[in-house]
């Protein structure tokens, strides 16, 4: 919905509102067009980065507590 549509809205309020990150959605759309092996490589890379971040956060939190 545009800002104008929101400000001038005269219907029932929606039960759920989703705010989308268009850049992320576009990236996911483009990734979905890749071959299966390339998609798996991207998802493995993302998983690795998330695991590294969780480990660093855990380590920093526990070292700070010493």
What is the model's pLDDT at position 22?
80
The domain total for the chain is 1
45: region left, alpha or beta (phi > 0 left; psi from -120 to 50 alpha): alpha
Longest dimension (CA), the chain: 57
Question: 36 is written with which tokens?
Answer: 């299966």
Of residues 41 and 64, more confidence is placed in 41
pLDDT tens, residue by residue, 10-50? 777 767 777 777 888 889 889 999 999 999 999 999 999 99
Q: Give the structural domain span for 55.
A: 3-64
Q: Could you tell me the pLDDT band of residue 4, with boundaries at 50, 70 and 90?
A: confident
Instruction: Find all residues with CB under 8 Å of 32, minimum gap 6, and list them.
Output: 39
What is the model's pLDDT at position 33?
94
CA distance 21 to 23: 6
pTM: 0.56
DSSP three-state, residue 66: coil
């Amino acid at each position: 919905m545009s800002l104008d549509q929101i400000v001038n809205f005269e219907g029932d309020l929606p039960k759920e509102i989703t705010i989308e990150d268009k850049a992320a959605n576009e990236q996911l759309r483009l990734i979905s067009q890749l071959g299966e092996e390339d998609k798996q490589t991207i998802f493995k890379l993302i998983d690795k980065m998330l695991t590294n971040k969780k480990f660093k956060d855990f380590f920093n939190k526990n070292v700070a507590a010493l």
